[in-house]
């Protein structure tokens, strides 16, 4: 059944809301975005993956993003404090650009926002108030909101899109069932000056004794974040600033890189972020970006999935049939499920074990045969490409499952995967 959609209200002026607004405007819809001008001092989501670059090009903003960002040619991962695995994206081959960008988030968000303004999208600087219609699956803008925006839509919009990120405005209003991830980590982060880098432009990821850490080189700062089980963090102080500063000082790996660093910002904290809504659309609404689901920061997939999701949402809204909305939901849930599998290999220790197995066997004929192949597909996890290639997925499933187990059973490698689990 074709829905008669001509007008769309979008809640949230972040990357998913503004990119969707631009795409819908280009398709001829009447679009308005409700946004909140006041943003936190620092926002997570500063490291992009190569898979996002084709979407930035389609939006027409890659050059602008490049002008204020750090070029990101790869990822450097430390399995332990002395064991590094560096993967330039060029090792991944395939169809993606061999680079991405580390972006100052406020500038990146402004780029996507300004694009929508240039395309003619109307913005209202206020939180939209939504109401459920009776006990149904339908929602509407409150009468107050309609008045505040001078009846911009001539009544109610045909579709309301939730792009409000982790505020999850519609999911909360309608009490939509969610799937929570197993990890209940917290992430604390800040911007530092004077922190050391090893590979100047790569994202740096360290497996720590407790949790893991990112160091993202931005043009004039380094974003340093720690992801940790909340049961550990209380040992480090009672405020998030104390916890952050003390953690950096006391962790053996981080203290080395941050000994001469100065914290230039406050500390931001994110809790319980692994959350996926099990329904992505309803009678007159749709979810996109983090409002639909967010997995985990580890592979920097958030902004890529948010913007790619906007392209898919625009496509579904453009077609406007129930079947198109259903397909959109199926794709989003499927994609998040595949990324979840990859995320699990980081926390379970599978990915680190594989690296160590590879190192141990590099001087054997088997290692020389399989090594480059393995490196290509492991690199594709960090570039975002592994998820979209059946062969990569099958290969990774094999090497991260039966192959690791076989190597242990065959006594070719005597490490236990759980030894490398992130606890």
Q: Which of 76, 300, 329, 379 binds ligand FAD (CB under 6 A)?
A: 300
350 neighbors 307 (Cβ within 8 angstroms): no
Provide, rounded to whole angstroms, the least separation between the CB of residue 293 and ligand FAD. Answer: 9
| Residue 211 sits in the site that holds ligand FAD (CB under 6 A) | no
**Contact positions with ligand FAD (CB under 6 A) in 99-158:** 127-128
Provide, rounded to whole angstroms, the least separation between the CB of residue 187 and ligand FAD. Answer: 3
Q: Which of 132, 156, 167, 340 binds ligand FAD (CB under 6 A)?
A: 167
CA angle 221, 255, 222 (to 5 degrees): 10
**Kind of pairing, strands 159-162 and 285-287?**
parallel
Stretch that binds ligand FAD, among 41-49, 80-88, 135-143, 376-384 (CB under 6 A): 41-49
| Residue 16 sits in the site that holds ligand FAD (CB under 6 A) | yes
| Residue 275 sits in the site that holds ligand FAD (CB under 6 A) | no
Separation CA 141–CA 156 (nearest Å):
7
Nearest CA among 21, 25, 3 for reference residue 12: 21
| Residue 47 sits in the site that holds ligand FAD (CB under 6 A) | yes
| Residue 303 sits in the site that holds ligand FAD (CB under 6 A) | yes
Q: Which of 289, 293, 350, 384 binds ligand FAD (CB under 6 A)?
A: 289
Q: Which of 108, 123, 273, 325 binds ligand FAD (CB under 6 A)?
A: 273
| Residue 349 sits in the site that holds ligand FAD (CB under 6 A) | no
CA angle 423, 191, 195 (to 5 degrees): 80
The CA–CA distances, whole Å, from 329 to 76, 273, 401 equal 34, 20, 29
| Residue 217 sits in the site that holds ligand FAD (CB under 6 A) | no
Q: Which of 2, 6, 27, 36 binds ligand FAD (CB under 6 A)?
A: 36
205 neighbors 213 (Cβ within 8 angstroms): yes
Closest CB to ligand FAD among residues 293, 358: 293
| Residue 44 sits in the site that holds ligand FAD (CB under 6 A) | yes
Stretch that binds ligand FAD, among 85-93, 259-267, 294-302, 323-331 (CB under 6 A): 294-302
Closest CB to ligand FAD among residues 3, 172: 172
| Residue 297 sits in the site that holds ligand FAD (CB under 6 A) | yes
Provide, rounded to whole angstroms, the least separation between the CB of residue 294 and ligand FAD. Answer: 6
| Residue 22 sits in the site that holds ligand FAD (CB under 6 A) | no
| Residue 12 sits in the site that holds ligand FAD (CB under 6 A) | yes
Q: Which of 70, 87, 169, 329 binds ligand FAD (CB under 6 A)?
A: 169
The CA–CA distances, whole Å, from 245 to 224, 241, 255 equal 11, 6, 10
| Residue 45 sits in the site that holds ligand FAD (CB under 6 A) | yes
| Residue 347 sits in the site that holds ligand FAD (CB under 6 A) | no
Given the rule CB under 6 A, which residues bind ligand FAD?
Answer: 11-17, 34-36, 44-48, 127-128, 163-167, 169, 187, 270, 273, 289-290, 294, 297, 300, 302-304, 306
């Amino acid at each position: 059944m074709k829905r008669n959609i001509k007008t769309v209200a979008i809640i949230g002026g972040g990357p998913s809301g503004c990119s969707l607004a631009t795409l819908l405007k280009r398709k001829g819809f009447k679009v308005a975005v409700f946004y909140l001008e006041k943003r936190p001092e620092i926002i997570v989501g500063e490291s992009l993956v190569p898979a996002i670059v084709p979407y930035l090009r389609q939006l027409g903003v890659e050059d602008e993003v490049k002008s204020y960002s750090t070029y990101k040619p790869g990822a450097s991962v430390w399995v332990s404090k002395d064991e590094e695995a560096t993967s330039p994206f060029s090792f991944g081959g395939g169809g993606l650009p061999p680079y991405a960008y580390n972006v100052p988030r406020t500038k990146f968000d402004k780029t996507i926002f300004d694009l929508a303004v240039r395309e003619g999208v109307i913005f209202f600087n206020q939180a939209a108030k939504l109401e459920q219609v009776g006990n149904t699956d339908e929602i509407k803008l409150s009468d107050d909101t309609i008045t505040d925006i001078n009846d911009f839509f001539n009544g109610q919009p045909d579709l309301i899109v939730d792009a409000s990120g982790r505020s999850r405005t519609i999911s909360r209003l309608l009490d939509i069932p969610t799937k929570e991830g197993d990890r209940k980590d917290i992430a604390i982060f800040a911007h530092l000056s004077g922190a050391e880098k090893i590979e100047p432009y790569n994202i740096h990821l360290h497996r720590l004794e407790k949790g893991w850490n990112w160091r993202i080189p931005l043009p004039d700062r380094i974003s340093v974040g720690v992801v940790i089980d909340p049961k550990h963090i209380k040992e480090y102080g009672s405020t998030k600033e104390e916890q952050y500063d003390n953690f950096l000082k006391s962790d053996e790996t981080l203290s080395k890189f941050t000994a001469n660093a100065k914290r230039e910002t406050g500390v931001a904290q994110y809790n319980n972020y692994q959350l996926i809504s099990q329904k992505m659309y309803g009678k007159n609404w749709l979810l996109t970006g983090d409002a639909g689901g967010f997995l985990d920061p580890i592979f920097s997939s958030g902004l890529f999935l948010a913007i790619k999701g906007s392209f898919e949402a625009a496509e579904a809204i453009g077609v406007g049939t129930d079947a198109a909305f259903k397909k959109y939901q199926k794709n989003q849930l499927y994609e998040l499920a595949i990324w979840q599998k990859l995320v699990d290999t980081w926390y379970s220790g599978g990915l680190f074990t594989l690296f160590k197995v590879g190192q141990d066997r590099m001087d054997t004929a088997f290692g020389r045969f399989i090594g480059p192949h393995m490196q290509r597909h492991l690199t594709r996890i960090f570039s975002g490409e592994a998820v979209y290639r059946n062969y990569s997925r099958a290969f990774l499933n094999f090497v991260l499952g039966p192959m690791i187990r076989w190597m242990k059973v065959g006594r070719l490698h005597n490490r236990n995967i759980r030894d490398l689990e992130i606890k």
